[in-house]
Amino acid sequence: MTPLQSIILGIIQGITEILPVSSSAHLMFASKLMGLPFQRYAFDVCLNLGSLLAMLIFFHKDVKRLLRGFFNCSADDRRFFFLWLVSSLPVIGIFFIADLCFDLDFRSPLLLASALLLFGGVLWGCDLCSTEKKSLSLKDGLCAGFAQCLALIPGVSRLGASMSMMRYLRYSRTESFRFSLLLSLAPISGALFLTSLKIMTGKVVIENWNLLFLGCLFSFSFGLLTLHLVTKFLQKHTLLAMVIYRIIFGIGVMLYF
């Protein structure tokens, strides 16, 4: 891997992690185009560190609420933390079990393209629902958490699945975006933790730490920029542009392979 390839993968990770378009699908396709192996448990997973730091900074107020809730500060903060924790349990559980028990190989180009197209349609259909709810309930949070489990299949997108569910449940686009990304903090942190253990035990080897740092730096920078842009975009626009992109990308993957 060259420094330029590391930068490209970092940029792709930073942008696509913040969009409902499946970052894993983009990393797999970009790696294929550049003649690189898809490093699911090494470089590509570690790039999430940049995205995670970007989300922690951008949602620092919500992160502070979670920390206050964890330390039992106020009833409102405790409720918010409990809602986030319970809603995160389904996706934490399914990804942890999948990582420990079996090595899923969903890298079939046909499956990848089909997931991009199918769930693009789901995202658009759910986005047509009107906005009625303002206060997130535990039941709806759990539904969003279970929806994220579908992202075990590359091409679905954790953010896309969760936002689809929340739009179907009639939450605003900005609230769906915000809470769905907050839910992704747990699985991203968990994946990084498990990968760190594999690196320490020698099961996973990072060949060039400088290239990894470079990729994470660009993942962080473009992730933070994308967060600002998408938040403003969703205040005035629907998800149609992202749906159209998913369809174009899905067809492109199908034609390429």
pLDDT tens figures, 143-188: 999 999 888 887 899 999 999 999 999 999 999 999 999 999 998 9
The Cα–Cα gap between 62 and 161 comes to 21
CB 234 within 8 A of CB 61: no
Every domain of the chain and the residues it spans: 3-256
Q: Considering Cα of 18, then 24, then 29, then 35, what sign does the dihedral take?
A: positive
10 Å Cβ neighbour count for 18?
27
Q: Which two tokens stand for residue 193?
A: 């933790």
Q: Helices in the chain by DSSP H: which ranges?
A: 3-16, 23-33, 43-46, 48-58, 60-70, 75-101, 109-127, 138-148, 158-168, 173-200, 209-234, 240-256
The Cα–Cα gap between 121 and 109 comes to 18
Q: Considering Cα of 228, then 250, then 39, then 97, what sign does the dihedral take?
A: positive
* pLDDT < 70 positions in the chain: 37-42, 97-107
pLDDT of residue 41: 54
Nearest one of 171, 174, 159 to 122, comparing CA atoms: 159
pLDDT of residue 247: 94
The Cα–Cα gap between 58 and 139 comes to 26
- When computed from its CA atoms, the radius of gyration of the chain, rounded to whole angstroms, is 18
pTM of the model as a whole: 0.90
The Cα–Cα gap between 209 and 59 comes to 28
pLDDT of residue 254: 87
The Cα–Cα gap between 239 and 233 comes to 9
pLDDT of residue 101: 55
- State pLDDT tens for residues 104-124: 455 577 888 889 999 999 999
